[in-house]
Amino acid sequence: MAVARALLGRLAVLLASLAVASVAVFGLINLLPGDVASVILGSSATPDAVQAMRERLGLDVAWPIRYLHWLAGLFHGDLGRSALTGAPIGPDIASTLSVTASLVIMGMLLAILVAVPLGAFAAMRRRHLSGTVVSVLSQLGMSVPAFLAGIGLVLVFAVGLRWLPANGYTPFLADPLDWLRRLILPTVALAIVQAAVLVRYVRGAFVDVLGKDYFRTARAIGWTRRRAIMRHGLRNAALQVVTVIGLQVATLLVGAVVIENVFVLPGLGALLLRAVQSRDLPMVQGIVMVLVALILVINAIVDMVYTAIDPRLRTETTDADEVAA
């Protein structure tokens, strides 16, 4: 019951955060200088044509009314219409979101698969050269921008060795093998920085276990050092990984937006770039709101998972309820 109340509380915080985010996104987009109607029609447009375009776009009413209309549309899954084409924004965002989601999920999974064993190895070999090398490489990986890693991978594996394609995208249902081939390089480019960050946290989690009483007890009853550190270190590492995922969600999505433009992937990043270049503010507004909502939702899920896997948080919640009673 205490855990359920804690989860409901986090859900309430999520909804409040989404409400505040919608106000912030709408306000910032609509405070940008310039007249969208004039940009769309060009400098040769007559004042009457500009006014007619403003009325068609709903720009002739006060911004609080526009915000309420936009918010009402969000509740029904309607993100508005493009200022350039007049077509609904939702289908365009939905079609590109699958590309971005594939890249983000695969990038994070690859980062976890690489970082957990390397972090454990660096902890167990921290007084040896091999462990120091892993730590140094992780530090270097954290300093490499994702787009630079992507360019380097293209030069080596696409231009030099010609093992993988440098750009383009194939839908999964059309050709699963080609879909995977075209996502390998962008996934690796996105995962490099995330894996480097995770290695540092995982190493710290395993090193922390080495000084705990339960680790020494496990060793005293005959467990090998490797078995003891893996048995008790993995839980600590899981907590660290979940924490870092929550902290790195925004960085991961921004990195995906950049990587999509490096590898010419038709994801949210490419759609956002086109919308900014053409000053299609309703499209920009919709994409930014979707990205912010994704960050908030993923952070809320991470927070709930953290509560579920860390018994200390459940104990603290139960104790607080007993004191309140």
Residue 147's domain is classified under what CATH number?
Answer: 1.10.3720.10
CA triple 199-205-211, angle to 5 deg: 140
Angle at which helix 2-30 crosses helix 63-75, to 10 degrees, equals 140
Q: Are residues 185 and 256 in the same domain?
A: yes
* Distances in whole angstroms, Cα of residue 224 to Cα of each of 221, 235, 323: 9, 18, 42
Q: Are residues 206 and 65 in the same domain?
A: no
Helix ranges (H only) for the chain are 2-30, 36-41, 47-57, 63-75, 89-124, 129-142, 146-153, 176-210, 213-220, 225-262, 268-277, 281-309, 311-324
177-235 tens-digit pLDDT:
999 999 999 999 988 888 888 888 888 877 887 777 777 787 788 887 777 777 766 77
Q: Are residues 190 and 241 in the same domain?
A: yes
Q: Are residues 162 and 120 in the same domain?
A: yes
> Which residues constitute the domain of residue 70?
2-75
What is the Cα–Cα distance from 287 to 254, expressed in whole angstroms? Answer: 12
Task: Provide the b/e sequence for 3-30 (b: ≥16 CB within 10 Å).
Answer: eeebbeeeeeebeebbeebbeebbeeee
135-184 tens-digit pLDDT:
888 888 888 888 888 899 999 998 988 899 888 888 888 889 999 999 99
What is the Cα–Cα distance from 85 to 135, expressed in whole angstroms? Answer: 51
Q: Are residues 171 and 225 in the same domain?
A: yes
The answer to whether residue 307 is domain-embedded is no
The answer to whether residue 286 is domain-embedded is no
Q: Are residues 158 and 119 in the same domain?
A: yes
Q: Are residues 66 and 98 in the same domain?
A: no
The number of distinct structural domains making up the chain is 2
Q: Please report where in the chains the tokens 């954290």 appear, as a residue.
A: 142
The answer to whether residue 81 is domain-embedded is no
Q: Are residues 140 and 273 in the same domain?
A: yes
What is the Cα–Cα distance from 270 to 262, expressed in whole angstroms? Answer: 10
- In whole numbers, what is the pLDDT of the chain averaged over residues? 81
Q: Are residues 143 and 212 in the same domain?
A: yes
The answer to whether residue 313 is domain-embedded is no
Is the pTM higher than 0.85?
no
The answer to whether residue 305 is domain-embedded is no
Residue 319: is its pLDDT beyond 50? no
Q: Are residues 13 and 59 in the same domain?
A: yes
